Structures are given as C-alpha cells and as structure tokens.
Amino acid sequence: MKIYTKTGDKGTSRLFTGQEVEKFSYYLHAYGDVDELNSVLGVVLCYADDADIYSDVVHLQDELFKLGADLATPIDSKKEVYRFKKSNISYLERKIDAYDTELPKLRNFILPGGHKAAAFLHLARTVCRRAEREVSKLYHEKKINPHAFVYLNRLSDYLFILARIMNHRKKVDDVIWKSN
C-alpha cells in the first residue's frame, strides 16, 4: 500500500466509505482530533511507568483507532464498521469509579502538571475536549453515532482521573490552583 494517495493535492480526503470530502469537513476535524489525541497518548506511554495506567492507555489507543473509523463513517452508511455502544461508555465509567476510590477527595481546582505522564494525560484531556467540540457539530446534525460523542465526553473525565492517579501513585502532588 502506498503511503500517498494524492487526493489531498486537490484539498480533499476520503471518508471510510470512500466518499470524497473537503479537508475542512467536520468529519476530518472530528477524526483528526481523535488521531491527535491518540498521538498524545503515545507520548504518555513514554513516561507511564505504572503498569495499570500503561495497560489502560494501550487499550485507549486501540479504542481511539476504532473511534476514528466510526467517526469517518456517516451514520447512514451501509459500510460495515465497528460502532461504539453504551458498553464502551460504561467501561470508562467503571474505570473512573474504581480509580476514584483510590484518590483523596478533590477539594480544589488543579492545574496540569506533576509527574511527566500525568502532565501529558492532562494534555490528552484537553485534546479530547477539542475533539468533543468538533464531534458535537456532527452529533447535532445527527450525522454520527451518538455513542461516539458521549464516549468522548466520558473519556476526558477518565483522562483527568488517570492523571490524578499517576500523580497519586508516584507520590507527586497535584498542582493546586491558587486563586489570587
């Protein structure tokens, strides 16, 4: 398979269905941000020296690859593609709840930082929030799987918890925001 297709030379790209769309299409913004999020998680893996978190991030990278395909395939398409379901969202909620029991109560706003992996998890959370904003455009036009949108919303919460867990397990304090 060649790495270049030359379709981008005309300012277009293809969805998973083969449909040609402009590079500024909401679809490309949506799955492009998910791809960027996946790349940030790759950086997290360079620093995640906690086996649980490392394993969780590897799992997320696989899920995000599938999410990109889901987002690159309009909901009314007949093309066979993995579609996110409520169970994907429930999985994240169970993980959040389990990790949350390990953490001290959050009583302040925290700033991104602490352990290197935690800082990159915070960066991943913000990229996830941007992806969510981009996906919301397609979601409100009812052009994508609604579970994909909800998954991204929950994923940003999960990334926040993972950052806190990383700091907690490495005995690095969260960076508390101090209002002036």
For the chain, the structural domain boundaries read 22-176
Q: Determine the pLDDT at residue 25.
A: 84
The total of other beta-carbon atoms located within 10 Å of residue 175's CB is 17
Distance of alpha carbon 45 from alpha carbon 59, whole angstroms: 11
Superfamily grouping for domain 22-176: Cobalamin adenosyltransferase-like (1.20.1200.10)
Give tens-digit pLDDT for 9-38.
788 787 777 778 788 888 888 999 999 999
Give tens-digit pLDDT for 71-80.
988 888 888 8
- Ranges of residues in the chain with a pLDDT under 70 are none
Q: Determine the pLDDT at residue 161.
A: 97
Q: Determine the pLDDT at residue 38.
A: 98
Q: Determine the pLDDT at residue 75.
A: 86
Note the pTM of the prediction, 2 decimals.
Answer: 0.90
How far, in Å, are 58, 143, 172 from residue 147 at the CA level?
21, 12, 35
